[in-house]
Amino acid sequence: MAEDLSAVAARENVWEMAKRQLDEVASLIGLNESIHGYLRQPKRVLEVSLPVRMDNGGFKMFTGYRVQHNLARGPGKGGIRFHPDVTLDEVKALAMWMTWKCALVNIPFGGAKGGVICDPKHMSMQELENLTRRFTTEISLIIGPEKDIPAPDVYTTPQIMAWIMDTFSMQHGYSIPGVVTGKPISIGGSLGRDKATARGCLYVVDEAMQALGLPIEGATVAIQGFGNAGMYAAQLMSARGYKIVAVSDSSGGVANDSGLDARGLTAHKLETGSVVGFKGGERIDNRAVLEYECDVLVPAALEKVIARENAPRIKAKIVAEAANGPTVPEADAILFDRGIMVLPDILANAGGVTVSYFEWVQDLQANFWEEEEINERLKRVMTRAFREAYDQAQRHGVSMRKGAYCVAVDRVAEATKLRGLYP
């Protein structure tokens, strides 16, 4: 738990971290100074106060945010998180990362993000529904299928997306499934969305292993964080031939050098709420999972868990960022100098937003695809994005993060330049 608390404290400066990442790549691509300044700021920031009826009959005030960083390439896209430690700086950073993520995989979205300061673990389903519907009403001025399309994030679910869709639709008098993605299948969700982030991560790890000349069969994997992304990453990578040797969640971790049973571990997590106590492995702490001896490390929890202090102890050959912002810039430099390939968040976890794009397209067309087609389309998008980022990294002699940013920032800058300023 000490690691989680330090990570929360570190998130206060995550917005400065996001801007610094942009600054570091600006000179590599010769970014125009005016456009650079433009891209360092969000286009729109909305803060709302939310009076919510509670189960005791009274109401309680909550604060929510929706940030749209850049809309030059299309409507905003980004999740909504419900978490007690949400801050405006965090939401701004996540919105900026969404801009780069959408541009890197070349889908026609800009970057946005939302958050509400609350603790869903201590709220009933009725209270969560009341909060969600109130928040949707307050941000409805700036969201919509042509404006900004929310999605699930930390502690938000397909059910919460269903409430958002219903609230927005009721305001307009007809069903508008395209206002959100990550919905249940029965009301316009997409097949393959639940595993999309993990599947996309698998595809780029496969490409990285090939680029480094490493065999996939038997390659060892440690996963820090066992929510949706981490859980499905364990299952998919295990099925692909990787060996899962260590995993953790907020309560602690388990490890087994002979390999953990991904399906058994998932069942244990769903039954008990934690990976701790799984009989197929020995207990270790969160920090030990990050520093575990392995070929591939998958940080799949919160921001800034790989810092200057522990970067020298990372033993993986590849770090695949299934979470947003798990590696601070100082740690990035250390890992690069040590020859560790970091697959950045805007690449490694872009499978989620890519299949969200597929869902949006399917909703607008009222024409839904088979899961096999979705997975094949996702693979094409992710492998192309990896190769474009890898080519830029090799060309400039820089990290994969900077290579990915070269591709993404250049695309957003080009769109911004072509559209010009109005008025």
What percent of the chain stands above pLDDT 90?
A: 92
pLDDT at 6 over 60: no
Angle at 423 between CA 139 and CA 65, to 5 degrees: 20
Is residue 113 part of the annotated active site? The answer reads: yes
Q: Look at residues 343, 370, 405 and tell me which one is the last residue of a structural domain.
A: 343
- Residue 27 in any domain: the answer is yes
Q: How many domains does the chain divide into?
A: 2
CATH of the domain at 210: 3.40.50.720
CB 196 within 8 Å of CB 355 = yes
pLDDT at 317 over 90: yes
Backbone angles phi, psi at 94, to 5 degrees: -65, -35
Report the DSSP beta bridge partners of residue 53.
59
Q: Look at residues 343, 367, 401 and tell me which one is the last residue of a structural domain.
A: 343
Active-site annotation holder among 77, 92, 101, 113: 113
pLDDT at 114 over 90: yes
Provide mean pLDDT across the span 181-187.
97
96 and 56 in a common domain: yes
The mean pLDDT of the chain is 95
- Residue 99 in any domain: the answer is yes
CB 21 within 8 Å of CB 391 = no
- Residue 293 in any domain: the answer is yes
Per-residue pLDDT, 2: 37
Backbone angles phi, psi at 77, to 5 degrees: -145, 130
Q: Look at residues 312, 343, 374 and tell me which one is the last residue of a structural domain.
A: 343
pTM of structure: 0.93
Alpha-carbon gap, residue 330 to 209, rounded angstroms: 25
- Residue 385 in any domain: the answer is no
pLDDT per position as a tens digit, 115-133? 999 999 999 999 999 999 9
Provide mean pLDDT across the span 200-209.
98
pLDDT at 3 over 50: no
> Domain range holding 85?
2-176
pLDDT per position as a tens digit, 24-77? 999 899 999 999 999 999 999 999 999 999 999 999 999 999 999 999 999 999
pLDDT at 139 over 90: yes
- Residue 375 in any domain: the answer is no
How many CA atoms lie within 13 Å of 95's alpha carbon, on the beta-carbon side? 32
Instruction: Average the pLDDT over each of 9-23, 225-239, 295-309 and give the range with the smallest value.
Output: 9-23
Query: Which residue shows structure tokens 């206002």?
Result: 179
- Residue 14 in any domain: the answer is yes
pLDDT at 12 over 80: no
